[in-house]
Amino acid sequence: MDYFAETLIRTVNRFFPLLIIFIFCQIAFYLSLYPAMATDTSTSKDTIQVVAVGDIMMGTIFPNGEYLPPNNDCSRSFSMVKPYFADADVLFGNLEGAITDSKVGAKSCSNPEWCYTFGMPTAFVHCLVDAGFNLMSLANNHNGDFGEQGRISTIQTLENAGIHYAGLLSCPTATFVKDGVKYGFCAFAPNRGTVDVKDIPAAQEIVRRLKDSCNIVIVSFHAGAEGRTYQHVTRQTETFIGENRGNVYEFAHAMIDAGGDVLLGHGPHVTRAVEIYNNRFIAYSMGNFSTYSRVNVSGVNGLAPIFRIYTTRNGCFIKAHITPTYQPVEDRTPRFDPERRVISVIQNLTRTDFPELNIQITDDGWITSPDCYCGEKIKPLTPIEVKQFVNGKTSNF
């Protein structure tokens, strides 16, 4: 075989996986623009319910089967919390790892102390479907744990299951219509192969384009330092193990300014505060929700909220509710926490990190903001109008 042919074959083999991912994403993009998918406002809902959870990692095939649930049965990943997902228009989670049956391309690490390789069997996708998930973020530091073959397998598996996804450079966004409401979704992280959470102007442009054609834009971000000592929103750039993990406060506000409606954070492996900014909801970190193995779930690391966020059909925040859950170290099956510990955590963090805001979080988990208003802003009366009102002449306003 001559030199030219050998070079051509090597080039094709190198870029073929990227081509497959690109084709999948382009098909999804053009389907979202198809006229039949346009929003039908005659049947659309007035109040939307977005249910969101944090990290999902149902067990890993690497290095062997010891980190998978018994009999490769993932059903307990959501069985005890599934009732709390009912009636969700959108059910979101962060897919913390690849979905693949092959160990080809598994990452190698120079420091085994910080090396975790997450790959869930493709059969496990049925547990996501059965629970009702219809939206997943792929923007995190584990999506590439099995290289391009892992990314391709993940995309194909989610595609076949009818679950929407975004967050890779090749798939930065997703759009879909449900009950007459069109949703846009994008996801960001500071990691290789993902849409960069640190490039705020580029991220804003993505959000603006989605908002131009969608009723509600959901923005996911995997950012911030990790662990129980990093629960606070510092409003500064955060670093962890020498890596720039972004400024989550600056990012979230900038995305809302660009048209984002619901901001969903994950990455620190602990729960953080919530914020209402310009009538839009921000969860800065939702913690470890269903992480069967290789993730620390002791203490606060094992507490996680199920957020149910109520918005208008255009994304304005109405209210939200926290269902408190925890993962026992013994069996790591997420379940309702009768002690409601994560509610107290979110109350205290929100009070500490955003003392200037009037956010009310009740002991049973309801989140409201008296300062949040989703109607038309009322224009103040002019001095002349005030005088007319006092004199009983109200015909001009």
Average pLDDT over residues 12-19: 57
What is the structure's pLDDT at 42?
Answer: 42
What is the structure's pLDDT at 108?
Answer: 84
What is the structure's pLDDT at 45?
Answer: 80
- At position 315, the amino acid (one-letter code) is G
Degrees to nearest 5, angle at CA 58 with 265 and 330: 100
What is the structure's pLDDT at 109?
Answer: 76
What is the structure's pLDDT at 198?
Answer: 98
Query: For residue 63, is the peptide bond before it cis, meaning its omega torsion is within 30 degrees of 0?
Result: yes
At how many degrees (to 10) do helices 248-258 and 200-213 cross? 30
Average pLDDT over residues 83-106: 97
Domain count, the chain: 1
Better pLDDT: 338 or 108: 338
Q: Which two tokens stand for residue 12?
A: 């094709």
pLDDT higher than threshold 90 for residue 396: no
pLDDT higher than threshold 50 for residue 135: yes
Q: What is the pLDDT of residues 339-355, one digit of tens each?
A: 999 999 999 999 999 99
Instruction: Specify if 172 maps to a domain.
Output: yes
pLDDT higher than threshold 70 for residue 140: yes
Instruction: Specify if 352 maps to a domain.
Output: yes
Q: What is the pLDDT of residues 235-288, one digit of tens each?
A: 999 999 999 999 999 999 999 999 999 999 999 999 999 999 999 999 999 999
What is the structure's pLDDT at 339?
Answer: 98
Average pLDDT over residues 220-240: 97
Q: Give DSSP secondary structure letters for 38-88.
A: S--TTS--SEEEEEEEEEEE----SSSGGGS-GGG--GGGTTTTGGGGTT-
Confidence of residue 130 (pLDDT cuts 50, 70, 90): very high
What is the structure's pLDDT at 271?
Answer: 98
For the CA atoms of 187, 298, 348, 334, the dihedral, rounded to the nearest 10 degrees, stands at 60
pLDDT higher than threshold 90 for residue 2: no
Q: Is 22 exposed, middle or buried (0-12, 13-18, 19+ CB in 10 A)?
A: middle
> Quick one: what percent of the chain has pLDDT higher than 70?
82
Average pLDDT over residues 380-384: 53
Within a 13 Å sphere around the CA of 243, how many CA atoms are in the beta-carbon half? 15
Instruction: Specify if 376 maps to a domain.
Output: no
What is the structure's pLDDT at 38?
Answer: 36
**Mean pLDDT, the chain, whole residue set:** 88
Residue 19: C-alpha distances to residues 11, 13, 25, 149, 170 (Å) = 12, 10, 10, 12, 9
Instruction: Specify if 391 maps to a domain.
Output: no
Instruction: Specify if 278 maps to a domain.
Output: yes
Confidence of residue 382 (pLDDT cuts 50, 70, 90): low
Range of the domain at 62: 3-368
Secondary structure letter of residue 229 according to DSSP: G
The secondary element (H helix, E strand) that includes residue 317 is strand 317-326
First CA to last CA distance, the chain = 85
Instruction: Specify if 333 maps to a domain.
Output: yes
pLDDT higher than threshold 70 for residue 10: no
What is the structure's pLDDT at 384?
Answer: 59
Q: Which two tokens stand for residue 77?
A: 């990943």
pTM: 0.85
Confidence of residue 23 (pLDDT cuts 50, 70, 90): low
User: Rounded to whole angstroms, how far apart are CA atoms 303 and 81?
Assistant: 14
Q: Can you say whether residue 215 is alpha, beta or left, with left for phi > 0 and alpha for psi between -120 and 50 degrees?
A: alpha
Instruction: Identify whether the C-beta of residue 273 lies closer than 8 Å to the C-beta of residue 346.
Output: yes
Instruction: Specify if 325 maps to a domain.
Output: yes
Q: Which two tokens stand for residue 10?
A: 């090597």
Instruction: Specify if 381 maps to a domain.
Output: no
> Quick one: what percent of the chain has pLDDT higher than 90?
78
User: Rounded to whole angstroms, how far apart are CA atoms 250 and 206?
Assistant: 16
Instruction: Identify whether the C-beta of residue 167 lies closer than 8 Å to the C-beta of residue 194.
Output: yes
Confidence of residue 44 (pLDDT cuts 50, 70, 90): low
Q: Is 174 strand, coil or helix?
A: strand
* CATH code assigned at 249: 3.60.21.10
User: Rounded to whole angstroms, how far apart are CA atoms 144 and 194?
Assistant: 9
Beta-strand relationship, 262-266 and 317-326: unpaired
- Bridge partner residues of 317 (DSSP): 311
Average pLDDT over residues 163-173: 97
